[in-house]
Amino acid sequence: MTTSIGNVIGLALRPARAAAMQVVTEANATRDGCLIGDHSKSSKRGITLLSARQWDEVIEARGEALPWHARRANVLIDAGDLAALVGKRIRVGEVEIEVNGITHPCAHIEEMHGLLQALSGTRGGVYGRIANDGVIRVGDAVTLMESDERGVDSRGEFRPSGGR
């Protein structure tokens, strides 16, 4: 059984630490690396994913519209809280990702946009290790890997922590 989490609705790359984000329609991923053209520090944090619904909460809390990539995440997913994915393996397009942790905002995000408070808790998204080479495209499905379907309800739908 494959469990749907959502779909990719945005992709962006960070060409350098403080450089402007580049919005793209597809990105190539490298195993134990990052998205080609992206600045990443380690294989454990090779890719970052952000929930569109939680980003909407951030914007509402701030009272000011900002593009989703102001968060400096790589992948925007039409989904709810992604925190329940930590410790699990997901597929995003052709790419398998081991979700390793919650992404907490850095000082750079605070300096640029004052988002530290608005991104509290799990609103900053998650990060993970890229497990295989492949391509991610806007519109691709995001699914929980069959071998790791904890957190799925009786109807086969993904339920983030705190869900019913």
Task: Tell me the C-alpha to C-alpha distance, in Å, between residue 67 and each of 20, 71, 96.
Answer: 12, 8, 26
Q: What angle do CA 8, 110, 126 make, to 5 degrees?
A: 35
Domain 3-30+38-148 indexed as CATH 2.40.33.20: yes
Whether 164 shows a pLDDT value over 50: the answer reads: no
What is the reported pTM?
Answer: 0.83
Tokens of 127: 């990060």
Domain ranges of the chain: 3-30+38-148
Lowest mean pLDDT among 13-17, 37-41, 80-84, 140-144: 37-41
Residue 100 has pLDDT above 70, yes or no: yes
Q: Is the pLDDT of residue 118 over 90?
A: no
Output the pLDDT for position 159: 53
pLDDT in the model for residue 106: 59
Residue 147: other Cβ atoms inside 10 A:
7
